[in-house]
Amino acid sequence: MSDRLSFHVQRDSFLHRLNPLTKLTLAFALVVVAFVLPFYWTPIFVLFAVIVPLSVSGKIFREFSWAALRLILPAVGFLFVMQALFQPIGEQVVFKFYFLDATTESVAYAFRNAARIFVMISAFTLFLLSTHPSELMSDLTRRGLPSQFSYVVISTLQIIPQMQAKANAIIAAQRSRGLDTESSFLKRAGALGPLVGPLVFGSLVEVEERAIAIEARGFTSKRAKTSLYEIADSKFESVLRWSLVALVVLSIGLNLWHS
Amino acid sequence: MAFVNVRNLTYAYPLTKQPALQDINLQIEEGEFVALIGANGAGKSTLCYALAGFVPHFFKGELQGEVEADGKLSSQSTLSEWTLNVGLTFQNPFNQISGAKYTVFEEIAFGLENIGVPREEIKVRVEEALALTDIRELARRSPYSLSGGQQQRVALTSILVMRPKLLVLDEPTSQMDPVGAKEVFSAVRKLAQEGMTVVMAEHKTEWIARFADRVVALKEGRILMQGAPREVLTSDLLFENGFGVSRYTSAAREARRRGLWTKKSLPVSLDEAAEGFGAIR
């Protein structure tokens, strides 16, 4: 069993060394640009001219393409088919499936939307692959994000796999006492109660104990927190972030002017 | 004046009528190592929570009397102020892992980050604490990948690194093997000698007899008796009240009843039992 829930892949690359906030800003900026710039091929350009080269130079191309092909493409492909068939625009039919028509316009519309969604998910995949969650949260907490918020995010990432392990243990325990979890749907649905009950109530007790444990270690202390790790940030990255913000503003402006 | 003063403490958890603690009076000197014994439900954990400030700051309910440590009253401090001086670990190590950190080293540093210790000092203190509990080889592991005994050591280390003046341990060795448990007792003894005040709820009477300065026996929320470990652990009062003391003491008590045990005192360790039984011819 994996003992953590994180997409992060440890590599030594310039992308990994960037400050987490810079990468987060970049991901947001790419998404906004792909969505609002009023040029049809923008999302495709962003994908192949920015995201793919970044994944190569970040030494995570293999993991990135695996995620793109196995996770993003099927979801986006489904979206494309649905929009192409159901979008009631255009007249020139290029494909007919019973009563469903795909027109040149609906296909073009669906393609642009699918490409935008593809950019959105892949930009954040790139971000998650190259950024350690605790580094991100330490950096954001240092910049003023409430520590309670970052605690909830990080502990959820870590506790989900533990909950899965516990659920498996409860399933094994209940099955050894004769609970049927493999036959008909109805029987399996009925078996949910004895499985979910102990998991939920057990977790509630755990929450109380964990609260005591972190409280005993000064979690609510009023003193300014420090961090074990120094997270690199530079003047250059600050300039880069503000440039990305400017790019976003410019794209939105261009969109408004164009429309 | 004693470092810890518990005065007329009576406490009942919310929605319960039966108090978990009744009229507890306890004084503990600085650098003293006090062991709490008693059956499950005797009030050991509640007394630990009261000493660590979680009663009444975390667990509400009805409280009378007061807990004072290092000249301050727990009722007049906030929990975060109180925990700067008083450290607590409890039985289930899994739930003591913060969940916010990915390695044991980071986990132990968590408390120091919270109270704003500078980065370089954090590193030094974590290294020292890892050495103290002998878990340096676990530093790079995920806290969730460890065994129960190892997690208990990490939980203990996470509190020790905060350098509390009063250390409250609620069954800190419950998931450890005998060697690990002995090492923890021995490390705690050393800390007490260096001036840390320790209160430990435990069942392992053989180690208590060897390492603690004083034993406090609790029954149904009240202090039944307290005193030097040997005096308490071999007393008839404890035996009559059904306390599970060491098998060496129980065996010798039975031998005495049959007129075989001739020594004046009952044994609390294997060596003493061997010597006493060896004298029976």
pLDDT at A95: 81
Structure tokens of B35? 């062991």
B163 touches chain A (CB under 8 A): no
Whether B222 maps to a domain, the answer reads yes
B124 touches chain A (CB under 8 A): no
B13 shares its domain with B94: yes
B167 shares its domain with B255: no
Q: In this predicted model, what pLDDT tens digit does every residue of A61-83 receive, in sequence order?
A: 999 999 999 989 999 999 999 99
B9 shares its domain with B86: yes
Which of residues A64 and A137 earns the better pLDDT score? A64
Whether B218 maps to a domain, the answer reads yes
Pairing of strands B21-28, B166-170: unpaired
pLDDT at B123: 96
pLDDT at B112: 95
What is the average per-residue pLDDT within A152-158?
81
B268 touches chain A (CB under 8 A): no
Whether B225 maps to a domain, the answer reads yes
Contact B88 A216 (CB under 8 A): yes
Domain total in chain B: 2
Whether B209 maps to a domain, the answer reads yes
Contact A155 B118 (CB under 8 A): no
**Interface mutation vs chain A, best among B144, B151, B160, B170, most A CBs within 10 Å:** B144
B182 shares its domain with B86: yes
Residue type, B180: G
Partners of A200 in beta bridges: none
B167 shares its domain with B267: no
B242 touches chain A (CB under 8 A): no
Structure tokens of B107? 């986990």
Whether B46 maps to a domain, the answer reads yes
Structure tokens of B103? 């390695």
**DSSP secondary structure, B194-225, as one string:** TT-EEEEE-S-HHHHHHH-SEEEEEETTEEEE
Whether B122 maps to a domain, the answer reads no
B258 shares its domain with B218: no
Give just the sign of the alpha carbon dihedral B73, B76, B78, B84: negative
Residue type, B171: E
**CATH number of the domain where residue B28 is located:** 3.40.50.300
B167 shares its domain with B281: no
How many angstroms separate the CA of residue B107 from the nearest CA in chain A? Answer: 10
Domain that holds residue B211: 4-102+163-242
Picking from A151, A206, A229, the nearest residue to B100 by CB comes out as A151
Spans in chain B with pLDDT lower than 50: none
pLDDT at B209: 92
B25 shares its domain with B86: yes
pLDDT at A89: 84
B68: left (phi over 0), alpha (psi -120 to 50) or beta: beta
Which residues on chain B are in Cβ contact (under 8 Å) with A212?
54, 58, 88, 90
B80 shares its domain with B31: yes
Q: Spell out the residues 6+ positions from residue B155 whose beta carbon is closer than 8 angstroms to its own.
A: A213, B89, B93, B96, B97, B172
pLDDT of A165 strictly over 90: no
pLDDT > 70 in chain A, percent = 97
pLDDT of A31 strictly over 80: yes
Whether B110 maps to a domain, the answer reads no
Q: In this predicted model, what pLDDT tens digit does every residue of A181-225 receive, in sequence order?
A: 677 778 777 777 777 888 788 888 888 888 889 989 999 888 888
Which residues on chain B are in Cβ contact (under 8 Å) with A220?
79-80
pLDDT at A2: 46
Q: How confident is the model at residue A5 (pLDDT cuts 50, 70, 90)?
A: low
Whether B108 maps to a domain, the answer reads no
